[in-house]
């Protein structure tokens, strides 16, 4: 059996009744009684911590609460490094101890799972953004306030101290958003996306951290603000987050903004299934010009790209029909961003082929799947 870590063998067992009596004595009438209770509580060690926290939350006596906070602070500060060492060790009781010692760990464990890497990340967040980890065990208002303080600290670090944000900063901004009632502004979300984009390459390679962090990131993305939706969709594709499919479908229901609609279609073409195609059929009537960076020339003629064409290309991609079989002569699907909008169009001379392709797509969406070679017949 492994030896007990230093300090643990000296901590006596404390029953719930004993803890209640000792904490009650913190509000005793005489100084001697209060000091005796404080001494007994400190000798009780970390076993007293959860009882102190409960008293701080439930008691009404301000003097008792003040002394309970003092005892908890002293206990935590004196033992923090030992507690962290035990928490990060192979001690079979490490997780249980962590739930007792560190406010927010139980909630973080539910969100991120358990691994050495996750525990190390939690400790880093706790050291640099302690309000965030503590707020996970608190209220929505506390999580909202902690998120804003974390964002302010990150922005000050970047702008005033020229310190690049870290993965710890990114996770600190993300954790409070696990509460769906926390609603922050578009600036917060834009900062979060920017910070994560800086950290993506490194965290993506971490087999222990990327799955839980990407899961948490996707939960937030699905309720991202519409103002940032185009960026959220773009990053979902860049970061290979399958939630981009649902986010794309939601976006089509929430806005008619051209940039958001075409980016949503790209995300659906990247992550969607053939069952999503009928949900796009109404867009085959949308003749608004798509937003493109520069015209693509085919046979010395510029391609005209509309939202209808982007929807058509998406439907074809979901049915695994090559775009060139629909006479989209420059049609191309990128492994990262799905259909390439600039290439998903027709020249003015291809009006008949375009109309035939759209009609073909309507038939697919009404339940007539494409046959082998599934597109249009080549034009002679």
Helix axes of 16-25 and 62-87: crossing angle, nearest 10 degrees? 130
Cβ pair 106, 137 in contact under 8 A: yes
pLDDT at position 16: 87
| b/e map 98-133, b = 16+ CB within 10 Å | bbbbbbbbebbbebbeeeeebbebbbbbbebbbbbb
Q: What is the DSSP string of 107-146?
A: HHHHHH---HHHHHHHHHHHHH-HHHHHHTTS-HHHHHHH
106, 104, 110: which is closest to 96 by C-alpha? 106
pLDDT at 377: 52
Per-residue pLDDT of the chain (380 residues; tens, 9 = 90+): 333 444 444 445 678 888 999 999 998 888 888 889 888 888 887 788 888 988 998 988 888 999 888 888 777 665 778 789 889 998 888 888 899 889 999 999 999 999 999 999 999 999 999 999 999 999 999 999 999 999 999 999 888 878 899 999 999 999 999 999 999 999 999 999 999 999 999 999 999 999 999 999 999 999 999 999 999 999 999 999 999 999 999 999 999 999 999 999 999 999 999 999 999 999 999 999 999 988 899 989 999 999 999 999 999 999 999 999 999 999 999 999 999 999 999 999 999 999 999 999 999 999 998 876 555 654 33
Tell me, what's the pLDDT at 231?
96
To the question of pTM greater than 0.85 for the whole model, the response is no
Per-residue pLDDT, 92: 84
Q: What pLDDT is recorded for position 3?
A: 39
Place of tokens 């739930």: 99
Res 50: pLDDT: 86
Residue-level pLDDT at 78? 59
- The helices-and-strands tally (H runs, E runs) of the chain is 17, 4
Q: 10 Å Cβ neighbour count for 11?
A: 15
Report how far residue 88's alpha carbon sits from residue 117's, in angstroms, rounded to the nearest whole number.
9
Give me the pLDDT at residue 13, please.
63
User: What's the CA gap between 147 and 166, in Å, rounded?
Assistant: 16
Residue carrying the six token digits 């834009």: 190
Give the number of C-alpha atoms closer than 13 A to the C-alpha of residue 52, restricted to the C-beta side: 28
CA-wise closest residue to 212 among 336, 121, 88, 128: 121
d(C-alpha 255, C-alpha 376), whole Å? 32
pLDDT at 174: 96
Using an 8 Å Cβ cutoff, are 368 and 281 in contact?
A: no
- Residues 330 and 313: their CA atoms lie apart, in Å, by 11
Which pLDDT score, from 0 to 100, does residue 264 have? 98
């Amino acid at each position: 059996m492994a030896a007990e870590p230093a300090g643990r063998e000296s901590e006596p067992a404390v029953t719930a009744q004993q803890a209640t009596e000792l904490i009650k004595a913190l509000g005793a009438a005489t100084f001697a009684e209060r000091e005796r209770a404080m001494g007994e509580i400190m000798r009780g060690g970390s076993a007293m911590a959860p009882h102190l926290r409960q008293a701080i939350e439930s008691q009404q006596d301000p003097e008792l609460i003040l002394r309970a906070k003092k005892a908890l602070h002293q206990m935590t500060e004196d033992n923090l490094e030992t507690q962290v060492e035990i928490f990060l060790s192979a001690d079979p009781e490490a997780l249980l101890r962590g739930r007792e010692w560190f406010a927010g760990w139980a909630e973080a464990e539910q969100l991120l799972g358990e691994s050495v890497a996750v525990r190390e990340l939690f400790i880093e967040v706790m050291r640099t953004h302690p309000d965030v980890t503590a707020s996970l065990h608190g209220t929505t208002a506390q999580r909202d306030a902690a998120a804003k303080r974390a964002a302010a600290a990150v922005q000050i670090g970047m702008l005033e101290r020229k310190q690049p944000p870290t993965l710890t900063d990114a996770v600190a901004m993300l954790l409070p958003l696990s509460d769906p009632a926390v609603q922050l502004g578009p600036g917060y979300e834009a900062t979060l996306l920017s910070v994560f984009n800086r950290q993506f390459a490194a965290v993506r390679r971490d087999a222990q951290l990327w799955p839980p962090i990407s899961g948490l990131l996707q939960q937030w993305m699905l309720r991202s603000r519409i103002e940032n939706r185009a960026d959220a969709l773009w990053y979902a594709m860049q970061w290979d987050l399958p939630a981009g499919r649902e986010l794309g479908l939601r976006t089509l229901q929430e806005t008619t903004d051209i940039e958001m609609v075409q980016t949503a279609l790209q995300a659906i073409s990247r992550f969607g299934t053939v069952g999503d195609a009928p949900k796009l059929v109404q867009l085959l009537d949308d003749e608004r010009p798509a937003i493109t960076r520069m015209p693509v020339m085919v046979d010395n003629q510029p391609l005209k790209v509309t939202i209808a064409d982007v929807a058509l290309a998406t439907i074809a991609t979901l049915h695994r029909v090559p775009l060139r079989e629909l006479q989209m002569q420059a049609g191309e699907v990128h492994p990262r961003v799905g259909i390439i909008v600039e290439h998903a169009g027709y020249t003015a001379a291809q009006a008949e082929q375009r109309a035939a392709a759209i009609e073909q797509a309507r038939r697919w969406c009404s339940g007539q799947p494409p046959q082998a070679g599934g597109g249009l017949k080549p034009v002679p």
